[in-house]
Chain A
Amino acid sequence: MAFGVLLVTGAMTHQEGYAAGFRADPRAKVVAVSDEKDVDGRRAGLNRKLAGELGVPYIPDLDDALGRADVDLVSITTEHHRQGRVSIRCAQAGKHVYLDKPLAGNLEEARELERIVKRRGLRSQMFTQVLFPPAQRARRLVASGVLGELRAVHADLLFAKGFADNQPVRPRRENATPNLFLVPDAKREMFNIAVYSLALIRWLSGRKAFRSVRSVTGNYFLAENRVRDFEDFGILAVNLEGGLTATIASGRTGWRSHAGSGHLRTKLIGSRGNLFLDGQAARGELCFEGQTYWRVPAVNKDDPQAFWASSDQRKTGAPEWFLPPLAPNIDQSGFLDALERGREAEVTVSDGVRILEALFAAYRSASSGELVAIS
């Protein structure tokens, strides 16, 4: 019998992709969309929209939805400042949890979620890219022994979306304790993108603990982020247990910063060898007469930075890139594997908490200019 999946939060979130992933796997059946009963009208409308598209009911009160016997797991993609409390309610109801990244908007709720998941013996997974082909290749190479002992990992992930404006470069004064990370027109990009690299590094290293971090953030590209005082770029230098080190570049750098979806670069430093991995190396490239320079999509006021798949914003240019199509359900099927086989997922809530601790320490470092211990 298929696992019953409740979707918490609907359109214009990563749920668009996660729902498609669960629906593509015959082991799962999406049964409803729900959310907190006091969400605003925009959010409620977008939740109803996804429910309608999927042909499932929208249940406006999350507690009613969690009371359904046909719900085995919950896919949760709320704004980060709500995600901790919503996930806790789902776990308290005894449901397995599949979570958007990063885990939550504060550490207290994330740690409480971790305690409940452990106490109740639930399965959990946070969405990352570790099951995607570039990360799988990196792990195969590390496991092959060709590098010797892994000494350093460098992971850059830059999303080539959004419209960069022409403001002068200025130093950024970072907030040491941010509590808002996602609004309809802007995201804190270090928070939302470096999470992938931190997950990759933790996963590649066999879950070595993060010890300390130095970070610098910037507002280089996006007017919406500048207005919100959200960084659009961040770099991190991370020290892990056992002397392993890592550096990360993360950001949303504008449509014209890459011919494809953005720079995805990893360098592995070992005792016997080094490897540079271009995550976009597997690609097709079209060159033909009549190509013009970049054609970027028109500005979509509801999604100016092209966060969500449903706003269908794509660019073309010269040369035009196309990437190997990914199965839509790589990460979701990974979670269903974990449920079916009764084993831990590749990136669990506990991993997500450790990553969140590193991200919050990174904000303190960017604010103070100092190396900050990660507790």
Chain B
Amino acid sequence: MHYLLWLDPVIGTRIEAGTIGPVVFVRAHLELTADHGLLARTAAAGLESAGRWVRSEPKSVYVQGGPKAGYLNLTVEFVNGACALLCAEAAHSEPAVQLLLVGRNGTLRYDDFPQPEQLRDAPAPAQASIAWIEEAVRSGKPVARGGR
């Protein structure tokens, strides 16, 4: 199981407990691969997790960077009004994750350094999520859900 598949319910369980209230903002730095070709896949997996955590669907995605730059920054507006800044960054040394979820009644911070075996498989987001991000990279503009 890829690390992100493991992380999604770990965080989701904490949200379900209700202590921080509904999540309105997700900040994620996912520094999980040195392979620039896997950044879109990593970002798409992050986008899908963020949607589950804020309990909504992305409405618009704007992407900065690209495989050549070594990072993808996603600025996401969700249908319910929540938002996210999701960054898939090429790892230079050890893999690292920094998460900050802002709920209406509190925040959840999670920092981790995944084990190599947790990163052996590639993340497996829906192809549509990857295609959406790749289109946003190509266009250089915010891309709405209907526009992908």
Contact = CB atoms under 8 A, between A and B. Distances in A.
* Interface size class, chain B: 35 or more
Nearest to B24: A220
B25 A237 contact: no
B49 interface: no
27 contacts: A152-B69, A154-B73, A164-B21, A168-B22, A169-B80, A214-B75, A220-B102, A233-B24, A233-B25, A235-B75, A235-B83, A237-B62, A237-B64, A237-B85, A247-B75, A247-B85, A251-B102, A254-B105, A258-B107, A265-B100, A267-B87, A273-B93, A274-B31, A274-B89, A369-B144, A370-B141, A371-B142
Interface string A150-180: 0110101010000010101111100000000
A265 B96 CA distance: 15
A99 interface: no
B115 interface: no
A297 B50 CA distance: 33
B104 A220 contact: yes
Interface in A319-371: 369-371
A249 B25 contact: yes
Nearest to B63: A237
Contacts of B120: none
Contacts of A254: 104-106
A274 B34 CA distance: 12
B118 interface: no
A370 B93 CA distance: 36
B104 A218 contact: no
Contact of A253 (B96, B107, B109): B107
A169 B22 contact: yes
Closest 8 CB pairs of A and B: A171-B81, A237-B75, A245-B64, A220-B24, A216-B83, A214-B62, A273-B92, A216-B77
Contact of B85 (A151, A154, A276): A154
Given A263-B107, A269-B89, A371-B140, A218 B29 contact: no
A111 B21 CA distance: 43
Given A218-B83, A371-B140, A253 B98 contact: no
Contacts of A152: 64-65, 69, 71, 73, 87
A257 interface: yes
Nearest to A154: B87
Interface in B71-121: 71, 73, 75, 77, 79-85, 87, 89, 91-93, 96, 98, 100, 102, 104-107, 109, 111
A239 interface: yes
Interface of B: 21-22, 24-25, 27, 29, 31, 60, 62, 64-65, 69-71, 73, 75, 77, 79-85, 87, 89, 91-93, 96, 98, 100, 102, 104-107, 109, 111, 140-142, 144
B62 A274 contact: no
Interface of A: 151-152, 154, 156, 158, 164, 166, 168-172, 214, 216, 218, 220-221, 233, 235, 237, 239, 243, 245, 247, 249, 251, 253-254, 256-258, 263, 265, 267, 269, 271-274, 276, 369-371
Nearest to B87: A154
A267 B105 contact: no
Given A154-B87, A220-B104, A235-B85, A269 B71 contact: yes
A257 B24 contact: no
B146 to A, nearest CB: 12
A154 B89 CA distance: 12
B107 A257 contact: yes
Nearest to B75: A237
Given A151-B69, A156-B27, A214-B62, A171 B80 contact: yes
Contacts of A214: 62, 75, 142
Nearest to A265: B100
Given A156-B27, A237-B85, 9 more contacts: A152-B71, A169-B22, A169-B80, A216-B83, A233-B25, A263-B100, A265-B100, A371-B141, A371-B142
B24 A245 contact: no
A267 B65 contact: no
